[in-house]
Structure 1
Amino acid sequence: MKLVVLGLSLSSSWGNGHATTFRALLQAYAERGHDILFLERDVPWYRNQRDLADPNYCRLEFYSDLDDLHRWTAEIAGADAVMVGSYVPQGVDVAKFVQATADGTTAFYDIDTPVTLSKLKRGDFEYLSPEVIPGFDVYLSFTGGPTLNFIEEFYGSPAARPLYCSVDADKYRPLEVEQRWDLSYLGTYSDDRQPTVERFLNAVARALPNRRFCVAGPQYPKSVEWPANVERIEHVPPADHPAFYAASRFALNVTRADMIAAGWSPSVRLFEAAACATPVISDVWDGLDTLLRPGSEILFARSTADVIAALDGIGVDQAAGIGQAARARVLVAHTARHRAEELERHLAEARVGGEKRVEEVA
C-alpha cells in the first residue's frame, strides 16, 4: 500500500505527543511492507526543535502553506490511502483538498478526540469541521467506547474506529539505571492537567520532603511554584524516555479533562511507562480498567492521600510486580505492531465500504 500522511509533526517531539505516536505507528506499518510519505507543515516551532530529520521507514517532506501543498497533488491522488491528522494547521482546508484529490481511501486520525469534539461543540473549527467529517471514509479515533457511536450518529462519519496510541516495544523496555526519583511526570504543560499535577505530585512532594520528584516537559509557566524536592527538566527526547522511566520508582499519568469525561482515552505516555515496567499511578476514568487491571497492573489515585499511600506503602518487590505485569499486558495488546495491523485492517474495510457506497449511489 502507498500511504500518504498529513500530520502535525513527525520531525519534532517538542510540546506534542503526535510525533512519538506517528513514529512508532508508521515504522511498524512500514515493516508490513507499505510505502509511506509523511507531509508536515513547516512551522518555526518544530523547525527549530527537530529531533528526527531523516526517518528510515518513510519519506518525510515539508510544505510551507496550502499553495505549496499542491506540489504533492500527484502523490495524494495516486495513494492507496491518505490520512490527515488532528491539529494539522489549516486542517479543514487540508481535508477539503485531500477529499477532492485522493482516489484512494481517506481517513482522519484524531489523536485528540475529546478535545476535538469539545472544540466542535463550541464552534471552534481550528483543524476539523462538521462538514468534512462525512467526507472521510473512516474516522480513526484516539478514543474508543461510546464516543465512536457519537461520531457516526451525530457527525455522520461512515465509520468511526478506535486506533489508540501505542508504544514501540523494541525501544521502550526496562533498563538498569540508578533510580533518581520516587515519582516522576512526563508531559507538556496543560491548563486542565495542572490541577492534577498539583494534587498528585506537588502536594505529595510538600508532604514528603525527604522523597524526590521530577516533572519533565515544556511550556510550564514561571508562575508555577515547584517544591524544593521537585526537579524540573524542560524536555526529554524520545530516545531518553526509557532511561527517564527507569530512573523513576513510580510514574504519574495525568489525563486532560475532556479525555477524562469521554473515557477510553489512554495516552502514549501511559503505554510508554508501562512498557518500561515502571509502575504507573494514574487518575481514574472510564475504560482504563479494561486496558490495565487496577491494583495488579496499574494503581489508581483519587486524592493526594492515595499517592502518598502508594509511595509509603508499596515495597520494592510489589512495585516491580506491578510494573512487570503492566509491561506484559502492553506487549500482548498495545504495541505499535498491534496498531499497524489495526490500521491496515481499518483502511481495507473503509475501502470496501466506500466502494459499496459508490455502488449504492450509482
Structure 2
Amino acid sequence: MNMAFFGSSLVSAYWNGAATYYRGLIRELHSLGWRVTFYEPDAYGRQQHRDMDDPHWAKVVVYPPTQDGVDACLEQAAGADVVVKASGVGIFDEYLEREVLRLQSPSTLVTYWDVDAPATLARIDADPADPMRANLPRYDLVLTYGGGRPVVQAFEKFGARLCVPIYNGFSPETHHPVGCRARFRADLSFLGNRLPDREARVEEFFLKAAERLPSRSFLLGGNGWDGKPMPGNVRWLGHVYTADHNALNCSALAVLNINRESMALNGWSPATRVFEAAAAGACVITDAFTGVGDFFEPGREILVAGSGEEVAEVLADLSPRKARVIGLAALARAMDQHTYARRARGLDWLLRGEITDREAVQCA
C-alpha cells in the first residue's frame, strides 16, 4: 500500500509539535507494509534545524514553498492508495485542501488529518464562506489526533463522512527511561513553544507555581520565550531537540503538561509529550482536562491540577519516592495501551477498509 502524505515536517521538530506524532505512526505503518512518501515544504527554518536524517521507513520529498513546487508534488502523488492532507502544513494549506481532492478515485482514498481540530472547527464555524465547509464532505475520511466525541460530532455536523480520532502515543524505540543529566535537573520541567493560545496557561500553571515555590527549581524548554518575564527560579533552555527529550523527562522530579486553550476546552486531547514523558517513567502533572482518566488514572498514574496554585501544592507534597511510583505506573500503562504500534494497527485496518468502527480502531 502506498501513501502520499502532505504535512508540515517529518524530519524537523522545529516549531513543529506534530513531528514525533507523524514519525511514530508512519514508522509503524511502514512495518505493516505501507510505503509512505512525506511531502514537506522548505519553510520556517525547519530544514536548517533538522533533528533527524531521512529515515529508511519513509521517503521524504522537500519542495520549494511555491505553487509550482506544490503542483509537482501533487503530480507525483497521483495514483497513491491513500493521499493525506494534514492540517498546518504552513504554506498553501487552502490550495492543498482543495487540490488533493482531485486525486480522489475508486482506488485512491483521500484523507484530511487534523492535528489541531479545535482550531479548524472554530475557524469554519465562524466563517460560513470558509472553503473547508465545501471541501470537508468530499473527503473519504477525517482523522484527528484528539478531541474525542465532541470533535467527531462537530466534524460530522459539517458533513464529514467518517471522523476517527487517532490519539498521540509514543515509540519505545525512541522514548524510554535514561539516566539523569545535570543540565536538565529541576523540580519541575515544562517543554512547549510559546503560542498565543498556550501562553496564558503557561503563566497560570507554570510561572505562577514557580512564584509560589521560590525555593524550588523550574526548567522551561521550547521556542519563543526570550523576553518573557519569569521568576528567578525559572531557567529557560530554548529549543530542546528530540534526542534530548528522554533526558529532560528523566532528570526532573516531575514533568508538567499544559494543554493549549482549545485542547483543554475540548477535552480528550492529551499532548504527545504526556505519553513521551510517561514512556520515560516520569511523574507527570497535567492541567485538568475532560477525559484525562481515559488515558491515565489520576492520582496513581498521573497527577492533575486545576490551577497554578494546585500545581504548587502538588509539587510541594511530592517526594522522590512518590514521583517514582507514579512514573513507573504511568510507564506500565503507556506500554500496555499507548504505543504507536497499537495506534497504527487500528489505523491500518481502517485505511484498508477492514473496519469502520471508531472504538475498534482505538482498541486495536
Q: TM-score, normalised by structure 2?
A: 0.91
Q: Distance in 2 between matches of 1:58 and 1:260?
A: 32
**TM-fit CA distance, 1:328:** 1.2
Tell me the residue number matched to 2:289.
285
Query: Where do 4+ consecutive residues of structure 1 move more than 3 Å?
Result: 72-75, 350-353
Q: Deviations over 1:2-61 (max 9, x none)?
A: 111000111210112111111111111111121110001221422332223311211000
- Which of 72, 95, 98 is matched with 2:97 structurally? 95
CA contact (8 A) 2:255 2:277 kept: yes
Letter of the structure 1 residue corresponding to residue 269 of structure 2: S
Say yes or no: does 1:252 pair with 2:256.
yes
DSSP 3-state at the match of 2:37: strand
Say yes or no: does 1:133 pair with 2:133.
no
- Which of 139, 150, 160 is matched with 1:146 structurally? 150
Q: Distance in 2 between matches of 1:122 and 1:74?
A: 33
- Which of 215, 223, 246 is matched with 1:218 structurally? 223
Letter of the structure 1 residue corresponding to residue 277 of structure 2: A
Tell me the residue number matched to 1:53.
53
Q: Distance in 1 between matches of 2:74 and 2:211?
A: 56
Q: Distance in 1 between matches of 2:129 and 2:236?
A: 34
Letter of the structure 2 residue corresponding to residue 9 of structure 1: S
Letter of the structure 1 residue corresponding to residue 217 of structure 2: R
Tell me the residue number matched to 2:347.
343
**TM-fit CA distance, 1:351:** 9.8
DSSP 3-state at the match of 2:137: helix
Letter of the structure 1 residue corresponding to residue 316 of structure 2: D
Matches within 5 A, 1:142-221: 142=145, 143-152=147-156, 154-178=157-181, 180-221=185-226
- Do the aligned partners of residues 350 and 133 (structure 1) sit closer, same or farther apart at CA in structure 2, a change above 3 Å counting? farther
Say yes or no: does 1:78 pair with 2:79.
yes
Aligned residues: 350
**TM-fit CA distance, 1:326:** 1.0
Q: Distance in 2 between matches of 1:303 and 1:277?
A: 24
Letter of the structure 2 residue corresponding to residue 94 of structure 1: L
CA contact (8 A) 2:151 2:266 kept: yes
CA contact (8 A) 2:208 2:309 kept: no
- Do the aligned partners of residues 352 and 232 (structure 1) sit closer, same or farther apart at CA in structure 2, a change above 3 Å counting? closer
Q: Deviations over 1:128-154 (max 9, x none)?
A: 7111111111100122222202211x2
Q: Deviations over 1:313-336 (max 9, x none)?
A: 122222111111111111112111
Tell me the residue number matched to 1:69.
70
Where does the alignment leave 5 or more consecutive residues of structure 1 unmatched? 354-362
CA contact (8 A) 1:3 1:79 kept: yes
Q: Distance in 2 between matches of 1:239 and 1:324?
A: 22
Q: Identity over the aligned pairs, expressed in percent? A: 31
DSSP 3-state at the match of 1:97: helix
CA contact (8 A) 2:28 2:340 kept: yes
Q: Distance in 1 between matches of 2:264 and 2:124?
A: 18
Q: Deviations over 1:75-125 (max 9, x none)?
A: 422111111101122222212221112431111111111111112223399
Say yes or no: does 1:309 pair with 2:310.
no
Q: Distance in 2 between matches of 1:348 and 1:191?
A: 38
Letter of the structure 2 residue corresponding to residue 246 of structure 1: C
DSSP 3-state at the match of 2:322: helix
CA contact (8 A) 1:92 1:125 kept: no
**TM-fit CA distance, 1:225:** 0.9
Q: Deviations over 1:237-296 (max 9, x none)?
A: 111100011111101110111111111111111111111111111111111111111100
Q: Distance in 2 between matches of 1:125 and 1:18?
A: 28
- Do the aligned partners of residues 186 and 198 (structure 1) sit closer, same or farther apart at CA in structure 2, a change above 3 Å counting? same
Matches within 5 A, 1:13-32: 13-32=13-32
Tell me the residue number matched to 2:360.
none
Root-mean-square deviation over aligned CA pairs: 2.1
Q: TM-score, normalised by structure 1?
A: 0.91
CA contact (8 A) 2:201 2:260 kept: no
DSSP 3-state at the match of 1:98: helix
Q: Distance in 1 between matches of 2:219 and 2:87?
A: 30
Tell me the residue number matched to 2:11.
11
Tell me the residue number matched to 1:328.
332
Letter of the structure 2 residue corresponding to residue 79 of structure 1: A
Q: Distance in 2 between matches of 1:125 and 1:343?
A: 32
Tell me the residue number matched to 1:360.
none
Moved more, 301-310 or 323-332: 301-310
Where does the alignment leave 5 or more consecutive residues of structure 2 unmatched? 358-364
Q: Distance in 2 between matches of 1:329 and 1:352?
A: 26
Tell me the residue number matched to 1:357.
none
Letter of the structure 2 residue corresponding to residue 66 of structure 1: Q
- Do the aligned partners of residues 337 and 87 (structure 1) sit closer, same or farther apart at CA in structure 2, a change above 3 Å counting? same
